[in-house]
Amino acid sequence: MRGEAGRSAAATQLPRTVRTVGELQALADREHAAQRRIALVPTMGALHAGHLALVRAARARADRVWVSIFVNPMQFGPNEDFSRYPRPFDQDLALCGAAGVDLVFAPSAEEMYPPGAQTTVEVTELAKPLCGASRPGHFRGVATVVTKLLAAAKPHVAVFGEKDFQQLALVRRLVQDLLLDVEIVGVETARERDGLALSSRNARIVPEVRQDALSLVRALDAAEAAVAGGEDSADELLRIVRCVFLQAKSAELDYAELRDPKTLEVAPPRLCVPTLLALAVRFPATGGGPNARVRLIDNRVLHPKPGLEERP
C-alpha cells in the first residue's frame, strides 16, 4: 500500500475525474490485474468531515481510494429536496485532493440510468421500517444506485457511515444476497463540536432553531443514561426520548424507534441485547418557503446491562 510520501504527493493535486462507467471499469480491471486493492466511498457530494473520515477508513484498507459523487435522483421523493441539494463539485474535488483520494467518479444521471433502463434493485424487508416508512421508494433508489456503483468501480471494499444506519444494513444485506465480492465497512458517525451528526443538510437549519436540532443527541444521551442505570423497558425509553423532543419547540418528530441492529425488527418490550435507537426529526429550514423543513436522522446502539433478560 502507499506510504506517507505517496499520500503527501497526492494531496498536492486534484484527483483524476472519471465521467463514464466504461472508463471506470477499464481502470478497475487494470488495478485488479496489478493486484492493487480498490476502496470505494459512495457519496452525493457536498463533502464534509464525515465523508473525509470515510476516506481515511478507506485509505487504511486499500491501495487506491475512489470517491463517487452522484446526486441520485432515484432516491428522492416528489416533495423532497433534490433540486435544492448542494452540488459544490469544485470544492468537493479540492477536498478529495487534500485527502489523498486517487479518483473521483462523477457520472451524469443519463450515464447511470441510460434511456430505456427498466431494472431496479429492492431489498424488501429492511426497506420497510424507519426512513422507508416515510420515504416510499427511497431505498429502492439507494439499492439500485449502490449496485450500479459497485458494478462500475469493482471495489474490494466499500465504506459507508453509520449515521445512515438503515442504509448500511440494507447494503450489507444486498451484498450478501447478490453474492457480491466486496467487503462493506461501516464507520462511526462524525459529529460537530456540539454533538450534532455531520450532514450536508445541517446548513439548511434556520439559525434561530439550531439549538433545537441538538435534541437528537440529547435524546440519545438520555436513553443511553437510562439504560446504563438499569432501565430496560422499551416503552419507558421511548417516553424519555419523546420528552426531550417536547422541550424542543421547533422539532417535528418523524419517528423514534427501538429496533434490532441487524434485522431492523421491532425490539421486544424488555431489552436484553444490543438495540438500535433510531431517530428522524424535522426542523424549520431556509429556502423553500415558510413551511420548509429539513429532516435530520441520528441513532445509537444501546447496550442493556447483562442479566436483564432474567427479569420477569
* Residue 170: closest CA among 135, 209, 217: 135
d(CA 253, CA 255): 6
C-alpha cell at 53: 473520515
Torsion, CA 98, CA 297, CA 79, CA 208, rounded to 10: -90
Residue 172 backbone class (left: φ over 0; alpha: ψ -120 to 50; beta: rest): alpha
What are the beta bridge partners of residue 278? Answer: 257, 299
In order of 40, 54, 172, 236, the CA distances from 182 in angstroms are: 10, 16, 10, 40
d(CA 131, CA 110): 27
**Catalytic annotation on 51?**
yes
d(CA 309, CA 312): 8
Taking a C-beta distance cutoff of 8 angstroms, is the pair 46, 87 a contact?
A: yes
Q: Which of 51, 138, 156, 303 is catalytic?
A: 51
Taking a C-beta distance cutoff of 8 angstroms, is the pair 77, 295 a contact?
A: no
What are the beta bridge partners of residue 66? Answer: 40, 103
Q: Which amino acid is at 26?
A: A
Taking a C-beta distance cutoff of 8 angstroms, is the pair 139, 167 a contact?
A: yes
* Residue 218: closest CA among 194, 235, 198: 194
Residues with a catalytic annotation lie at 51
